[in-house]
Structure 1
C-alpha cells in the first residue's frame, strides 16, 4: 500500500511535465488514485472527508492575505519606473569601473527584490532596461544574461518574498504536524516574520557573491565587462535628470517601512503588505504613473497570480490528503530511517531531490507538493525550522535558473533581442547556479548565518 503513494507522486510529476495546469494536475491525479484505491480496498475515504476543513482553513488564513497585497505592491512598483531610475542612478555611480553595469544590475536587482518580491517582473524589467545597454557597451552576452536572470531571482530569498510567505505557511502547518506526531502541544509556531529575518543575511551574502564574481571576471577577462565611456555617462545624464539620492530614497523608504515593521514586531506581514501596497500607490502617484491603464494592468495581474496560487493550494490539499491516505508519510519516515548518516543524510537527500526537481518543476509546485511531505519528518528529527525554510528557499531559487525549464530563463528569452541565443542564456546562468550552491554549502556549514538574526530579534 505504501508504494501507491510513491506511484501517486511519480504520476503527478509526469502529468505536470505535460504542461497541464498545476492545480488540476494535483487534484485530478490524486482523486483518480483515491478512486482506484477505494476499489482496491487500499484507501479510506475519511481522508477526503477532511478536505472541507482544509479548504476552510485556506480561506480563513490571514497570513495568505499577504500574497495578493505583495503582488499588487510589486506590480505597481514595476509600472512606476522605479527600476529605470535606479538603474540610471547606479550606472552613474559604478559605470566608470570595469563590470560597473553588472554591479549596478546586482544592486538594483537587490533593491527591486526587497521592493517587489516578484521574480518575473524583475527579470522582464531588467531585461528590457539593462540588457540592450550592456550588449551595446560591449558586455559579454553570457555574462549579461546570467547576471540579469540571477539578480531577478533574488525576489525568492530577499524579503518581502511571495515565496517566503507561501513557504512560511507550509512550514507552519508542517511544524504543527510534527508536534502532533511527537505528542507535543505547544503554542509556539513558525511565522513568516521568522523566515524574513532568517533570509536577510543569506540574501545579502548572495548579492555580495554576485558582485564578487563580477569583479573577478573584470580582473580575469576585462574585455568582457568594459567600463562605460564618457559619452555613455553623458547620455545617461542627459536622458535622466534624477540623481542617485532622489532615485534611492523612495524605494529605500518603502523597504524600510515594510520590512522594518515586520522585523521589529510592529506589524504582521499581512498588515505590512497593506502598507506596502498603499506605499506603492503613493510612489506611482509621485512618479505620475498612476494612470487608469496601469491600474487596470496591476489589478488584473494581481487577480491572475492570486487565483493561480490559491487554486494550487486547493490542489495541493487534495494531494496531501490522498498521499497520507496511502501511507506516504510512513514510507518517507522508513526511507529516512534507513539512510546512513542520520539527519545530515536526510537533509542532503531532500536538498538534492528538490534541486533536481527544480529542472522540471516550478517553485510553487515543489513548495506545495514536496515540502509538506518531507518537512514534518525533518522537523521531528530535530532540524531547526527557520534554517530548513531558508535552505529550501535558496534551493528553490535555483529552480528559476536551471535549464531547460527555469522560469527566469523563459522570462528573459521573451524580452531579449533576437541576436541573443538561447544557448547563451543557458550558459550564462551556470556560474550563478554554482554561486547559489556555494551559499547552500555555507549555510549548511554555518547555520548561524540563518538563525542569528531571528534569535537576536525575537529571543
Structure 2
C-alpha cells in the first residue's frame, strides 16, 4: 500500500512543478500532503497511522524534518553553506558595478582581430565570470545584452553567436567557485556517510567480520575538494569551446569573421585592458588560490571574494574621479602590511606581552582595511543604490536556496518513508552490467530532469537518493568528488538542451527579434556535444578530477603522515620502484653502517644499530616476497573474479528473499495474536512464505559447487599477501626506528647539558627550602628532564629524591644521596653523548640521508613533494576492491 502513497507523492510533486507553483513550496507541500494522506488512511482503515509506511511513520517523519532543519542551520559540520551568500554577493556586485562589462569589452578588443576572436573572448569572459558567480541566468543575460549585439554587428552566424553565449554562460555550474558545487558537496558529504554504512554492512555480510578496514571506506568530499576536482574538467570544457570556435572560424570564415580593433594599440589601450583584466583575475586567483593552497577555507575565501568585489565595485562606480582608487589603494596597502607583520611576528593573544609591537601594527593595518571596506560600501550604497540592490538580490537567491534545501530534505524523508529509496536501490542493483549501467541510467535521469528542474532541485532531491547507492559499490569504488563533478557537468549540459534548456530561455528573453529561436537551438546543439565529450573524458580519466584534491591534501600542512593506512598501497607501489632503481646505493649505505666503528655508543645502542642494519638489509628480500604474494593473487583473479561476481549477486538476491520472508513471518505472527484471526489471510501469507522458501532454495542451488573451495583459496592468497606486506612494514619500521631515536638522543645532548646548573641548584633546595616547596621545584626539573630524549634514568633518580621529601619527616639525607646518584648518571650521559656525536654522528647522518625517505619513510612526519605527487596520482585512479567483499 505504501507504493500507492509513493506514487501520490511523485504525482503531487510533478503536478505542482509543471503548473508553475514555486519549487520552494512544491517540494515540502507534496511531502506534507502525501504524509498526511497516508497517516489519515492508516488511522481510518487500519487503526494505525504508521500502517502504510515502509519505514517509521508520520512521527518519525516529523522528527527527521526537525533534525534536517537543525542540521541545516545549526550543525557546525555543514558550515560550508555559509559560503553560498558570500559567493552570490561577489558575483552580483561585480555584475552590477559593470566590472563584468568592462572585462567583456576589453577581451573583445584584445582577441577581436583573431579569426573567431570575438567568440573566443565571450568564452574566456564566460569562464572568468563563472569564477566569480555560479548564477547561470545572470551571466547569460549579461553576456547576451553586451556581446550579442556586437557579434551580430560583425556578421557572426546567429547560431554560433547564440550557442557561444549560452554555453559560456553555463560555465558557472562547473568552474569554481560554483554554487552548485557547494550544494553538491554538502549533499555528497551526507551521501558518503550513508554509503559507508552500506559498504560496511556489505563487508560484514560477505566476510562475517564486523570491522571493515579503513582502506575500503568511502572517500568523501568537501566544498574545497569539489572546487579543485572541477577545475581541470572546467578548463578542458573551456578549451573545447575555444577550439571549436577557432576551427569553425578557419573552416567557414563567414561564420566567425575577425573583428579589427578600430583604435590604436598604444599605451592607453594597454592601460585600459590591464585595468579591466588584472583586478578580477587577481580576485579569482586570491579566492581560488587560497583554497587550493590550503590558506583559507571555502567560507573564508568567500568572505575574501565578497570584500574584494565590494572594493572593486567602489572604484568602478566612481570611475573618472581623482579619488576613485583611494579605497582600493588603502585596502591593498593594509593587506600587504598585514602579510609583512605576520611574517615578522607571531600574533597570538597568549603571547600578547611578547608581541605588543606586532599586535599594535596589525591593529592599525586592520583598521585601514576596515576603513577601505567601509569607504567602498558607502560608495556602493550612495551611487545608483547599488549595494542595496545587490544585498536584496543576494538575500532573495540565498533564501531560495535554503528554503529548497529544507523542502528537499522533507521530500527525501517522505520518499524514504514510503520505501522509495529501497525501490530505487533494488531497481539499480538489479540492472545487468553493474555500476556503469546504474551510473548511465542515473546520468540519463538527471539529464532529462534538467529539462524541467533547476540545478538546486536536482542536487538536493536526486543526489541524496542515488549517490549512496553509487558510492557504496566496491567494484567501481568511485570518489564522491568524481561523482559530484560528473553530476555537475551533466546538469550543465541540460541547461542547453532544446527546447527546455534554461540558458536558451534566458538568452531568448534578451536577444533581438532578428535572432530566431531555431537559430538559438541550432547553436546550442554543437556545444551540447562538446559538453558530452567533456563528460566522457572526465568519466574515462577520473584522475583529471581526483588528482588536484589528492595533491592539495597530501602536500598541505594537515597532510597525513606516511604511516597512514590509506596511503600504504600507493606508497609501496612508489617505493618498490625506488628499491629497483636505487637498490645498489641503499645496500652500500647499509654495509657502511654495518662496518662502521660504533664503540662510542653504549652497548644497548650498539645492539640496536646492529639490529637496525640487519632489518634494513632484509628489506629487499621482503619486497620480493610481497611481489610474489601479489602476483599469486593477480594470477588467480582472472578465473576467480567472474565466479565471485556471480555468487555475490545470487547471495544478494537470497538476502532480499530472507528479508521478505522475515516481513511475512512478522505479519503472520501479528495475525495469530488476534482474538479472531483471519484464516484466509493467514493461508495466503503461508502460501507466500512457501513460495519464497522454494525460491530461496532455487537460488541457493545456483551457487556453483566449486565456490567454497575457490573462495577459500582466494582468501588464503590475500591473507598471504597481507602477511607479507605487514612483515615488510614491521621490518622497515624496525630498521629506521633505532636510527631515528639515536639521532634524537644525540641531538638533545646540549639541551641536557644546559640543565646542569638547574640540577646542581637542587642541593640548596633540598637543604634549605620547605619540603613542599622543594618537591615542587624538583617536579619542575623532572618535567624539563622529561622533555629530553632518553633521559628517563636520570629523571627517575630525581623523582625518587622528591618522594624522599614526602611526608611530615622528610628524608633529606636520602634525597641528597639520590641527587648525587642522579648527577653521576647525568655527567656520564652527557659525556657519552658528546663523544658519540663526534665519533658516530657523521656516520648516522650519512646513513639517515640515504634511507630516510625510502626504508625509513613510514616513520617520517610527511612525504617529500615528489612522493606526495606520486601517491596523489596513484590514488586518483578508481580501483576495483569488490573481491574483498
1:55 aligns with 2:78: no
| Counterpart Cα distance in 2 of 1:417 and 1:126 | 13
Aligned equivalent of 1:455? 550
1:397 to 489, 492, 512: 492
- Quick check: 1:2–1:331 contact (8 Å CA) kept in 2? no
Say if 1:56 and 1:139 are closer, same or farther in 2 by CA, change over 3 A.
same
> Which secondary structure does the structure 1 equivalent of 2:295 belong to?
coil
Task: Select between 182-191 and 70-79 the one with higher mean Cα deviation.
Answer: 182-191
- Quick check: 2:220–2:481 contact (8 Å CA) kept in 1? no
> Which secondary structure does the structure 1 equivalent of 2:131 belong to?
helix
Aligned equivalent of 1:103? 120
Aligned equivalent of 1:151? 168
Task: Select between 283-292 and 429-438 the one with higher mean Cα deviation.
Answer: 283-292
| Structure 1 residue 271 displacement after superposition | 1.3
Deviations 1:378-420 (A, max 9, x none): 1111332111000000000122212223221222122211222
Say if 1:450 and 1:361 are closer, same or farther in 2 by CA, change over 3 A.
same
Say if 1:424 and 1:452 are closer, same or farther in 2 by CA, change over 3 A.
same
> Which secondary structure does the structure 2 equivalent of 1:373 belong to?
helix
Aligned equivalent of 2:392? 300
Say if 1:240 and 1:284 are closer, same or farther in 2 by CA, change over 3 A.
farther
Aligned residues: 457
Q: How does 1:27-426 map to 2 (within 5 A)?
A: 27-38=28-39, 39-40=41-42, 41-43=51-53, 44-45=57-58, 46-60=60-74, 61-183=78-200, 189-229=220-260, 232-234=261-263, 242-288=271-317, 290=380, 291=383, 293-381=385-473, 382-426=477-521
- Quick check: 1:88–1:240 contact (8 Å CA) kept in 2? no
Q: How does 1:435-446 map to 2 (within 5 A)?
A: 435-446=530-541
> Which secondary structure does the structure 2 equivalent of 1:158 belong to?
coil
| Counterpart Cα distance in 1 of 2:445 and 2:303 | 36
- Quick check: 2:233–2:544 contact (8 Å CA) kept in 1? yes
Task: Select between 1-10 and 250-259 the one with higher mean Cα deviation.
Answer: 1-10
- Quick check: 1:85–1:240 contact (8 Å CA) kept in 2? no
Deviations 1:63-85 (A, max 9, x none): 11111111111100002222222
- Quick check: 1:77–1:280 contact (8 Å CA) kept in 2? yes
Task: Select between 73-82 and 238-247 the one with higher mean Cα deviation.
Answer: 238-247
- Quick check: 1:362–1:399 contact (8 Å CA) kept in 2? no
Aligned equivalent of 2:844? none
Task: Select between 262-271 and 345-354 the one with higher mean Cα deviation.
Answer: 262-271
> Which secondary structure does the structure 1 equivalent of 2:263 belong to?
helix
> Which secondary structure does the structure 2 equivalent of 1:283 belong to?
helix
| Structure 1 residue 242 displacement after superposition | 4.9
- Quick check: 2:192–2:218 contact (8 Å CA) kept in 1? no
> Which secondary structure does the structure 2 equivalent of 1:226 belong to?
coil
| Counterpart Cα distance in 1 of 2:12 and 2:529 | 30
* Structure 1 unmatched runs, 5+: none
Say if 1:228 and 1:11 are closer, same or farther in 2 by CA, change over 3 A.
same
* Structure 2 unmatched runs, 5+: 43-50, 201-211, 319-379, 555-885
Say if 1:369 and 1:239 are closer, same or farther in 2 by CA, change over 3 A.
farther
- Quick check: 1:85–1:242 contact (8 Å CA) kept in 2? no
Task: Select between 347-356 and 174-183 the one with higher mean Cα deviation.
Answer: 174-183
- Quick check: 1:361–1:405 contact (8 Å CA) kept in 2? no
> Which secondary structure does the structure 2 equivalent of 1:243 belong to?
helix
Deviations 1:92-140 (A, max 9, x none): 2221121110001011111111122222221111111100000011001
| Structure 1 residue 447 displacement after superposition | 1.0
| Counterpart Cα distance in 2 of 1:190 and 1:2 | 33
| Structure 1 residue 171 displacement after superposition | 0.7
Deviations 1:202-244 (A, max 9, x none): 0000000001110111122110111114xx5329999988532
Structure with greater contact order relative to length (CA < 8 Å, sep ≥ 6): 1
- Quick check: 2:132–2:284 contact (8 Å CA) kept in 1? yes
> Which secondary structure does the structure 2 equivalent of 1:233 belong to?
coil
Q: TM-score, normalised by structure 1?
A: 0.95
- Quick check: 1:363–1:399 contact (8 Å CA) kept in 2? no
| Counterpart Cα distance in 2 of 1:233 and 1:95 | 10
Task: Select between 115-124 and 2-11 the one with higher mean Cα deviation.
Answer: 2-11
| Structure 1 residue 245 displacement after superposition | 2.1
Deviations 1:403-455 (A, max 9, x none): 22322122212221122222221221111111111111111111111111111
1:24 aligns with 2:25: yes
Say if 1:131 and 1:242 are closer, same or farther in 2 by CA, change over 3 A.
farther
- Quick check: 2:188–2:464 contact (8 Å CA) kept in 1? yes
| Structure 1 residue 10 displacement after superposition | 4.6
| Structure 1 residue 292 displacement after superposition | 5.0
Task: Select between 205-214 and 174-183 the one with higher mean Cα deviation.
Answer: 174-183
CA RMSD of aligned residues (A): 2.1
- Quick check: 1:361–1:399 contact (8 Å CA) kept in 2? no
| Structure 1 residue 155 displacement after superposition | 0.5
> Which secondary structure does the structure 2 equivalent of 1:234 belong to?
coil
Task: Select between 133-142 and 170-179 the one with higher mean Cα deviation.
Answer: 170-179
Deviations 1:327-372 (A, max 9, x none): 1111111111211110111111100111111112211111111111
- Quick check: 2:220–2:479 contact (8 Å CA) kept in 1? no
| Structure 1 residue 22 displacement after superposition | 0.5
- Quick check: 1:69–1:274 contact (8 Å CA) kept in 2? yes
